[in-house]
Amino acid sequence: MGVYSKPVVFAILSAVVILIGTVVTVFIPMLMPSTQPVSGYVKPYTAVELEGRDIYIREGCNNCHTQTVRPLRTEVLRYGEYSKPEEFAYDRPFLWGSRRTGPDLNRVGGKYPDSWHYKHMADPQSMFGKSNMPPYAWMAQNRLDTRYSVKKIRILDYGYTEEEVAAQIADYRAKVTSPSYNSKRARNGVTPKELQNELTEMDAVIAYLQKLGRDVKKLEAGN
């Protein structure tokens, strides 16, 4: 009758089989570096973009905006190339969202110049009369807090050194405060005088919005 008539042997053998199953499904994935697809063309957020993302989460923008273009003809026509899993490799937590009170933002990077965003964030109804998006003008009145940027980047393992983080923040500040910045008028229009030479929360949110989908757009454009 083989093993079926030997209860003790059967119990031991089943325990061994279950143990092997447990080890394979629980412990081996723990030793693997990541199960998330990673592609070279998707770049991690810079320190400023990451701060902007945190403000986006803090303000609950994801309650009205999704970040997933589904592979449906209507969505691809409206927003562009549908979202791929590897695009979210650096998103912890991901912000796919489920409510579309506003349009999907996964391809908004590069769609408008920064100046458009400054005006729209400060007063959405000035761009679309019927918009029910609340105004966020006060974001330009808050200096960007970068005290924890290095720590955040270390925890998220983006691989930048402390100097690189400082350089990213300094570079972005130099860009938006430069006299030749092409959205200077719109930025100065919403930013109080004393903060025009500093980075504000609105600068960071716009840096983040401009990053959304840009890697994919660059890949499509072939550079």
Nearer to ligand HEC, 64 or 167 (CB): 64
CB atoms within 10 A of CB 208: 24
Taking CB under 6 A as the rule, does residue 219 contact ligand HEC? no
The span from the CA of 157 to the CA of 31, in Å, is 17
Distance of closest approach, residue 109 Cβ to ligand HEC, in angstroms: 10
Nearest to 58 by CA among 217, 204, 216, 212: 204
Taking CB under 6 A as the rule, does residue 76 contact ligand HEC? no
The two three-digit tokens of residue 152, written as one number: 């955040």
Nearer to ligand HEC, 205 or 207 (CB): 205
Site residues for ligand HEC, 156-175, by CB under 6 A, read none
CB 168 within 8 A of CB 160: yes
CB 122 within 8 A of CB 186: no
Distance of closest approach, residue 170 Cβ to ligand HEC, in angstroms: 24
Site residues for ligand HEC, 132-151, by CB under 6 A, read 132-134, 136
| Residues forming the site for ligand HEC (CB under 6 A) | 56, 59-61, 63-65, 101-103, 105, 108, 111, 124, 127-128, 131-134, 136, 205, 209
